[in-house]
Amino acid sequence: MKWRPAPPALVRKFDSVMEAVPQAERRKMFGYPAAFANGYMFAGLHQDSFVLRLSPADYSAFLKLEGARPFEPMPGRTMAGFVSVPPTVLESEGEIETWLEKAFAHANSLPPKEPKAKTRRAKGA
């Protein structure tokens, strides 16, 4: 399954709202813009979705919003704790920033993730 690139307008929106959490580490995840705190991804893009990782309580509250749904990078493969942000929330600057800050706070509440050790490839491999 080949994933589509995120639309340029969505990438610009991601860059814009990430200004609300300047202390986040920004890097790519599977070729898409993503934001990390404490070693955990808490926001990112996937194809045409803006994705957030929320605490269990915030996750439940978020799913009550119109158009909100659990994030499924592949059909039937829901990522626990991650949601796809509906356009109504994404278009409301104050609302998306509120949820982004909740996602950032949740990632910071988790124990720091240990960095993965880099493996060395054998010569000729």
What's the domain range around 103? 8-109
Amino acid (1-letter code) at residue 58: D
DSSP 103-115: HHHHHHHSPPPPP
3-state secondary structure of 46: strand
Tokens of 49: 């979705």
By the 8 A CB rule, do 13 and 86 touch? no
Residue 122 belongs to some domain of the structure:
no
Burial of 100 (0-12, 13-18, 19+ CB in 10 A): buried
Residue 2 belongs to some domain of the structure:
no
Residue 1 belongs to some domain of the structure:
no
The CATH number that applies at residue 83 is: 3.90.1150.30
Residue 3 belongs to some domain of the structure:
no
Tens digit of pLDDT at every position of the chain (125 positions): 678 999 999 999 999 999 999 999 999 998 899 999 999 999 999 999 999 999 999 999 999 999 999 999 888 899 999 999 999 999 997 999 999 999 999 999 999 988 777 666 656 55
